[in-house]
Amino acid sequence: MDTRPSGRLQEHLDEQCGILTTRQLYGLGENRESIRHAVETGQWLRVFRGVFAVTNGPLTREMQLSAALLYAGPRALLSHDTAAEAWGISRPTEGPVHVTVPYGCSAISQPPTLRHADRRFTATAHEVIHPGVEVHRSRAMAHIGADTNPLRTGKPDTVLDLAVAQPTAREAMICMVSAMASGAVSVDLMRRKLELRRPRRYRRALFDTVVLLGEGVHSVLEHRYVLDVEQAHGLPTATRQAPHHVDGRVLFEDVLYEQFGLIVRLDGQAFHSAKQRRFRDRRRDNSAELRNLPRLSYGWDDVTKDPCAVYGEVRAVLVREGWSDVSFPCRRCAHVSEST
């Protein structure tokens, strides 16, 4: 068999990163015996049933994605964790390639593909040919795709898929805020997507999250403060990103309990240089002092690892400033109390 690529074969190889289907190979003049010979002699790799790599070396990431899409069918889209990786929303993972297909498609999830020990290969150190495929199904295929190469779900759809896949509503909300921030998905775009494609799981929680973001929650840290400090303990609802003028500039307080004058600052240190932070914090401190306003500051570890202690301090200042305490301990508070 002449394995030198013809013009048509080379076009397919270029378009599909060296991955071909049985049907394409038949159309290019190959037959069942020639394909079997190429695989058994180690010239080609069988990635999935009906999907082959015209190589015997390790598959690149692009080849793995192409193989998964060719296996899943012509309408398949990269989705979930894999689409998030492609959009830069999350880091690459070592798990299966996630694809979404329409209902009625026969593709099913596939385990990792391993090399056969009894066949001759030049790269025997690479046991795993492909990490496998996780197949999802959607009735909204007409609305979720992006015009990319390779094809994948759009950014807001990817964020929504990631959120809905979480085990609890709370984790879904946290995932949505983090993914929106990482993928630069606007609140308006996410709101329109939720209206168009109403999720069956966590619908209320995800709509509430978009409302919070629209009301001024700008970061994952601020969202965790709302969830785990305010809402979990029944603290009053604060104003987010409250503006005030200092030396002709408009500065913003992360959290302001206006009725009681308490400022809570959340320092995620994500979007400002050290010099910017020092200037901002100094001017805000001076302004708050001149207005005789109490203020508390917390970082990521404070809010995420010990939100109950943050609650206790915020509650104490609010009560001191005249709040009629209607707060309550959360489940974590009860657990900490029992363990001590």
Q: Please list, in sequence order, all residues whose beta carbon lies within 8 angstroms of the beta carbon of residue 89, skipping any fewer than 6 positions away.
A: 155, 158, 159, 162, 179, 182, 183
Which residue from 232, 256, 172, 183 is spatially nearest to 206, judged by alpha carbons? 172
Q: Which has the closest alpha carbon to 21: 84, 93, 60, 70?
A: 70
Query: Which residues contact residue 308 at a Cβ distance below 8 angstroms, ignoring those fewer than 6 apart?
Result: 233, 329, 330, 332, 333, 336
Question: Residue 237 carries which DSSP code?
Answer: P
Give the domain-ending residue among 153, 183, 205. 153
The interaxial angle of helices 169-183 and 203-214, nearest 10 deg, is 40
Residues 42 and 123 in one domain: yes
Please tell me whether residues 233 and 303 are part of one structural domain.
yes
H/E element holding 130?
Answer: strand 128-130
pLDDT value of residue 57: 87
pLDDT one digit per residue (tens) for the chain, 340 residues: 444 555 676 777 778 899 999 999 999 888 999 999 999 988 999 999 999 999 888 999 999 999 999 999 999 999 999 999 999 999 888 899 999 999 999 999 999 999 876 555 445 557 899 999 999 999 999 899 999 999 999 999 999 999 999 999 999 999 999 999 888 899 999 999 999 999 989 999 999 999 999 988 888 999 999 999 999 999 999 998 877 666 666 666 789 999 999 999 888 654 444 555 565 666 666 666 667 789 899 999 999 999 999 999 999 999 999 999 999 999 888 665 555 4
Domain presence at residue 197: yes
Helix, strand, or coil (residue 138)? strand
- Is residue 273 included in any domain, yes or no? yes
Chosen domain end from 124, 153, 182: 153
Query: pLDDT at position 1, please?
Result: 44
Instruction: List, in order, residues 6 or more apart from 116 with CB less than 8 Å away.
Output: none
The interaxial angle of helices 307-320 and 331-339, nearest 10 deg, is 110
Q: Are 81 and 159 spatial neighbours (Cβ–Cβ below 8 Å)? A: no
> Does 96 share its domain with 230?
no
Whether the CA torsion 263, 268, 272, 278 is positive or negative: it is positive
Per the domain annotation, does 1 fall within a domain? no
Query: H helices within 130-202, ranges in order?
Result: 141-144, 155-164, 169-183, 187-196
Q: Give pLDDT, residue 246.
A: 63
| Residue at which a domain ends, from 168, 188, 214 | 214
Task: Let me know whether 171 and 148 are in one domain.
Answer: no
Give the per-residue pLDDT at 235. Answer: 97
- Whether 195 maps to a domain, the answer reads yes
User: What tokens were used for 249?
Assistant: 């500039």
Domain that holds residue 171: 159-214
Round to whole Å and give the CA distance between 231 and 78.
36
pLDDT at residue 337, rounded to an integer: 52
DSSP secondary structure string for all residues of 310-327: HHHHHHHHHHHTT-----
- Nearest-angstrom CA–CA distance, 331 and 270: 30
Note the pLDDT of residue 42: 87
Contacts of 156 (CB under 8 A, 6+ apart): 185, 189, 190, 192, 193
CATH of the domain at 237: 3.40.960.10
Nearest Cα to Cα of residue 107 among 128, 79, 126, 81: 79
Residues 17 and 97 in one domain: yes
Q: How many domains does the chain have?
A: 3
Asked if 67 and 47 touch (Cβ cutoff 8 Å), the reply is: yes
Write 246-250 long-range contacts (CB < 8 A, 24+).
246/283, 246/284, 246/286, 246/287, 247/283, 249/283
The answer to whether residues 14 and 143 belong to one domain is yes
| pLDDT value, residue 273 | 47
Instruction: For the chain, report the end-to-end CA distance as a whole number of angstroms.
Output: 76
